A = this chain, B = another copy of it.
């Protein structure tokens, strides 16, 4: 899996702070982006994040190149609707060689790993047979397993990144999408450390776990309130 931040709103934290300040100011956004000091930006951003008045976070967007995640994970990923995805098409790209993801629980056991590898390679071989018999890639791909890798471009604004990380960094999320959003968080943190610090599991933000059972990071709601 490779995740790289390829585009983002320049000085994203300043943009957000200016928008936040605008709501209560007597000057406009174009002057605010000139005048706000780094200290003011940090204070405004921390207020916005802690208060739950998150709409101003939408003014900063981040675009990632994501390569080498499984189609199992991309199917989960594109359920997030306040985001933009452009994904490599299995209809129009016909695969020459198998590229796939092995779950760590399988990779940890040599016998299971062998079963897994052989099963994927066998599926791929049958996929190629269909292609060679003239079946279009869009139909032959019905044989490709969920493990097959895909690549995509993904754009989310800072508000949606906070929301998605709050559920996908949770220990209940599957390992692959958790790893994806850990990398997303690391990429954002490099260029926008305050926003990065707000990309947290929901229990860290809430102060308690709102699931039926807790993994232990935070106590259950009813055990604390």
Taken together, the copies of this chain in the complex come to 4
Chain A at the B interface: SS class: mixed
**Measured between C-beta atoms, what is the minimum distance from A39 to chain B in Å?**
19
Asked whether B142 lies within 8 Å of A89 as measured between CB atoms, the reply is: no
17 pairs from A and B in contact (CB 8 Å cutoff): A6-B18, A7-B59, A15-B63, A22-B88, A24-B89, A28-B151, A51-B212, A52-B211, A59-B86, A61-B157, A74-B75, A106-B130, A106-B135, A119-B143, A138-B174, A141-B146, A224-B225
Asked whether A119 lies within 8 Å of B126 as measured between CB atoms, the reply is: yes
Q: Is A133 an interface residue (CB 8 A)?
A: yes
Closest chain B residue to A91 by CB distance?
Answer: B174
In Å, the complex CA distance between A23 and B225 comes to 30
**Measured between C-beta atoms, what is the minimum distance from A63 to chain B in Å?**
5
Residues A22 and B144 in contact in the complex (CB < 8 Å), given A63-B15, A65-B28, A115-B129: no
In Å, the complex CA distance between A90 and B146 comes to 11
Asked whether B6 lies within 8 Å of A105 as measured between CB atoms, the reply is: no
